[in-house]
Structure 1
Amino acid sequence: YMFHYCTSTFHYSKTIVHFFGEYLNPKVAPNRNFRLAILYRDDPYGVGVWNASNQFIKEDKLPIEVVAGRKYPPGTTDFHAELTAIKAAKPDGLFAVDFTVGTAEIYIQGQRDVGLNTIYMAVEVCEVPEFYTLLKRWGDRQLLESKFGPYAGPPYYLPLMDTYIQKFKQRFNLYPGMMGADTYDAIYVAKDAIERAGTLDKAKVRDALETTKMKNLLILTETGYIEFGKTPETYHEISPVTFIEQLIWNEKVGECRPFIVWPEKVPNVGTIKQREFELPPLYTPGEK
């Protein structure tokens, strides 16, 4: 009876390590492997990302060496010790695995206090207005993986986004976040299943959910349709398309704003890339 309308550690870990290995490595370390540090919460979310990232690096033969893996208890707010150890490992990039507040602190403490002038990457759970407010200028030229680009338009890459984002802003006076888009879609997926089942009987609604095939609403999928997997590896999961955004300081609004930088195109939609990636001005590669 469980259907998961969201990404998993599997999805975003794969996107992130492939970005580091395929796209960023030729730019910062063309003659050696990319030196990656992973700083993560010691809970199922963080450990799941740690395991999946290492799995994809190995299985997909990516040119990445994990030079530091540091975990910490959930709720940690002081990351100076972990970031100092990571700086000593001389990474080319840092993958930070936390929620909004913790991730923002990692970005800020790493640059402001530790002098770890590298590329910082966060997970899509941070795709909320609070993240940009917390980061201030410390987010400039840093990265965020996502599957919902509230600032990628108008016009947006999915038609419904134009209406949804405009109405959300009118009602709440801020941009929607990724989890809100997930929830919006999930409500309409449930509505569709109930209507096709013609009843609220749990077993029949479950059966209807298993045969769901709706065109994408706010979240992109690999097929262009909302469908739940049936294999052991994909059972009751969707196949979301994820991408990488770079945050750029916007003097007018006093916050960073994200722009899609990778990949250039996605299935069934075409081009989603908004601008070219730029290294942060103070960026220092792990080894020359």
Structure 2
Amino acid sequence: MKYPVLFIAVLLIMAALIAGCTQQASTQQQTTSVSQGVIKVGVIASLTGPASNVGTSMWQSAQVAADKINANGGVTLKDGSKAQLNLVVGDDESTATGGQKAATKLITDDKVDILVGGYSSAVTSAYEQTIADNKIPFIVTGASSPIITHRTDGIDTSYIFHHCPTTDTYGHYTTTFIDQVIRPAVNKKLNASNDRPFRLALLYQNTAFGKGIQTAVNDTITKNQLNIVLVSQQSYTMGDSDFRTQLTAIKAANPDALYLGAFPNEGAPAITQARRDIGLNTIFLSPENNDNAQFYKDLGQYGEGSIIESRFSPYTAPTGPVTDDQAAFKQAYFAKFGTYPDMMGASTYDGVFIAAKAIGNAGTTDKAAVKQALVNLNMPQVIEAMKNQTISFSPDFRESGFDLWMEQLAFNQTLGEPRPSIVWPDNLKTTDFVLPSWYTAGSA
């Protein structure tokens, strides 16, 4: 009877060893991409379609970020080991259908560990259900509608982190600038009393992005009881190139300024047509996504006097902690691609560093662990000026906080393009806002 007992004991020991090996193999399987020294980062960008100008800058900026991280040894994990970043791009084609295809391919075919990017709010919001279904961390670096993380239709956005000011933020910021800076300047030019209402017109993309700007402007005026009246609110379809019908209606309303909720490929022709074809000689204000090298080229002389709300520019930077880092990024980008990055490119550059830091903190590519690392994230700013010089996400809607500024463009005869200078707020400005000599105010 001794041998059967011994035999059973041996079997039990072998079973325990097998179970241990199985558990170890399971653990290794969970972290296989890290243990093999590779972290796969999916970048969703508009490489084709009407948003391709900005989307290309996003994808190229992600490459510059990965180059720098990998050249410095890669991502440092909690155990001290290193992993290299491998970027995989998905072209959303500037359409909802294209975005769905890109997200699905990156997740199911390419099996990326984390996603970065997303530009058009309408396109990005269309595939958020896929993000929710697959529970994959997604750092959105371009789509600016609050709907990205404020959804009320039952779609779970808990794996989505918004590293981009929302239309609420910069719509409010720009409207406040109009009230505090442009309105007094126009009143002074007209020798009008301070209680003269400022006449503002809107031309906005008929999408979540454009409508978000429209809503933010209206809400800011109402909530703060600003002395601004909206004399015309005109919309258009994303990708349109002829705005003369809307601009004619706007001119007839005699505005003091025109705020465009537009992409660069729309804003530049709209401003050009307004001044060249319609004779609308006013101040044009654009959101931050227009701080783009191609936008400056396309504007040419017609960009003189225009305003852009910004947090990163290819041609200027505020003096402060990020000045040198921004310059180094621009130089590296130019060396690789022969041009300069734009606003959304800067956010995506940040986004790759955020992804790397979160995975490093988690010590694994397990998606739930990376999501929690993003929830807990508290890292130094990279190249964009952040609130408190720190990148972290708000506990309610997982939004990061940026320092913003307003730029005014001046035409450079030698370059044949305008160049920006910061005019607000006072602690960052390099020059004062001015009304161009050709400017025509609305009704007195």
TM range (shorter): over 0.9
**Aligned position for 1:205:** 370
Greater length-normalized contact order (CA 8 Å, ≥ 6 residues apart)? 1
Map 1:64-213; keep pairs closer than 5 Å.
Answer: 64-153=228-317, 158=322, 159-213=324-378
How much has 1:87 moved relative to structure 2?
0.8
What is the CA–CA distance in structure 2 between the aligned matches of 1:154 and 1:285, rounded to whole Å? 30
What is the CA–CA distance in structure 1 between the aligned matches of 2:430 and 2:202, rounded to whole Å? 27
How much has 1:32 moved relative to structure 2?
0.9
How much has 1:150 moved relative to structure 2?
2.9
Gap runs ≥5 in structure 1: 266-271
**Using a 3 Å threshold, how does the CA distance of structure 1 residues 19 and 161 change in structure 2: closer, same or farther?**
same
Which among 404, 422, 436 is matched to residue 280 of structure 1? 436
What percent of counterpart residues are identical? 38
**Equivalent position SS for 1:22:** helix
**Aligned position for 2:401:** 239
Output the TM-score relative to the length of structure 1: 0.93
**Aligned position for 1:250:** 412
Give the number of equivalent residue pairs: 279
Higher helix share: 2
How much has 1:220 moved relative to structure 2?
1.6
**Using a 3 Å threshold, how does the CA distance of structure 1 residues 55 and 82 change in structure 2: closer, same or farther?**
same
**Using a 3 Å threshold, how does the CA distance of structure 1 residues 10 and 166 change in structure 2: closer, same or farther?**
same
Check conservation: 2:259, 2:285, Cα contact below 8 A.
yes
- Judge which range, 166-175 or 250-259, deviates more: 166-175
Check conservation: 1:155, 1:162, Cα contact below 8 A.
no
Q: Does 1:51 align with 2:207?
A: no
Q: Deviations over 1:183-208 (max 9, x none)?
A: 11011111111111111111110000
**Using a 3 Å threshold, how does the CA distance of structure 1 residues 157 and 84 change in structure 2: closer, same or farther?**
farther
**Equivalent position SS for 2:162:** coil
**Aligned position for 1:27:** 185
Q: Does 1:41 align with 2:205?
A: yes
Q: Does 1:9 align with 2:167?
A: yes
What is the CA–CA distance in structure 1 between the aligned matches of 2:299 and 2:341, rounded to whole Å? 18
Report the AA paired with residue 78 of structure 1. Answer: D
**Aligned position for 1:18:** 176
Gap runs ≥5 in structure 2: 1-158, 188-193
**Equivalent position SS for 2:437:** coil
Report the AA paired with residue 440 of structure 2. Answer: T
Check conservation: 2:326, 2:384, Cα contact below 8 A.
no
Report the AA paired with residue 177 of structure 2. Answer: F
How much has 1:256 moved relative to structure 2?
0.8
Check conservation: 1:79, 1:109, Cα contact below 8 A.
yes
**Equivalent position SS for 1:148:** coil
**Aligned position for 2:52:** none
**Using a 3 Å threshold, how does the CA distance of structure 1 residues 154 and 172 change in structure 2: closer, same or farther?**
farther
**Using a 3 Å threshold, how does the CA distance of structure 1 residues 55 and 155 change in structure 2: closer, same or farther?**
closer
How much has 1:276 moved relative to structure 2?
1.3
**Alignment RMSD (CA, Å):** 1.5
What is the CA–CA distance in structure 1 between the aligned matches of 2:341 and 2:169, rounded to whole Å? 22
Check conservation: 2:292, 2:313, Cα contact below 8 A.
no
**Aligned position for 1:269:** none
What is the CA–CA distance in structure 2 between the aligned matches of 1:150 and 1:274, rounded to whole Å? 16
**Equivalent position SS for 1:68:** strand
Check conservation: 2:293, 2:314, Cα contact below 8 A.
no
How much has 1:222 moved relative to structure 2?
2.1
Q: Larger radius of gyration, structure 1 or 2?
A: 2
What is the CA–CA distance in structure 2 between the aligned matches of 1:16 and 1:157, rounded to whole Å? 24
**Equivalent position SS for 1:104:** helix
Check conservation: 1:22, 1:62, Cα contact below 8 A.
no
Report the AA paired with residue 250 of structure 1. Answer: N
How much has 1:214 moved relative to structure 2?
1.4
Check conservation: 1:156, 1:162, Cα contact below 8 A.
no
How much has 1:153 moved relative to structure 2?
4.9
How much has 1:162 moved relative to structure 2?
2.4
**Equivalent position SS for 1:189:** helix
**Equivalent position SS for 2:160:** coil
What is the CA–CA distance in structure 2 between the aligned matches of 1:76 and 1:176, rounded to whole Å? 24
Output the TM-score relative to the length of structure 2: 0.61
